[in-house]
Amino acid sequence: MRIVIYSMLLLLIAIQYPLWLGKGGWLKVYEMERQLELQQAKNSLLSLRNAKLTGDVRDLKDGTRAIEERARVEHGMIKEGEFFVQILPPTKSSDSAPKQASPQ
């Protein structure tokens, strides 16, 4: 009787092995679903970036505003008749000025 029970138990384990650890087993399916979710998140980020780049390309081809903006920001260019004014933050004059002796 024990032989039958052990053989049935062994047969049950042999049947369960492909279900859990085989090529199309539950663990592989779970791992593939997780990888699919990660890839879909990556793809959605890339599609947003592509949409932005498509808009930039369209602006560069059709309009002059994008070209003008890039020329101003990247190359420091100004239009004819414009003036460029640069305002610098105030420097700490107390550090550079000579210290006076306090009267005693």
Query: Is residue 92, in this structure, part of any structural domain at all?
Result: no
Query: Is residue 15, in this structure, part of any structural domain at all?
Result: yes
Query: Is residue 90, in this structure, part of any structural domain at all?
Result: no
Query: Is residue 59, in this structure, part of any structural domain at all?
Result: yes
Query: Is residue 104, in this structure, part of any structural domain at all?
Result: no
pLDDT tens, residue by residue, 43-86 = 999 999 999 999 888 887 887 787 788 888 888 888 888 887 87
How far apart are the C-alpha atoms of 94 and 91, rounded to whole Å? 9
How far apart are the C-alpha atoms of 92 and 89, rounded to whole Å? 10
> Which structural domain range is residue 63 located in?
2-79
Count of structural domains within the chain: 1
The widest CA-to-CA distance across the chain, in whole angstroms, is 112
Query: Is residue 102, in this structure, part of any structural domain at all?
Result: no
Query: Is residue 8, in this structure, part of any structural domain at all?
Result: yes
Percent of the chain with pLDDT over 90: 25
CA angle 33, 36, 37 (to 5 degrees): 90
Query: Is residue 95, in this structure, part of any structural domain at all?
Result: no
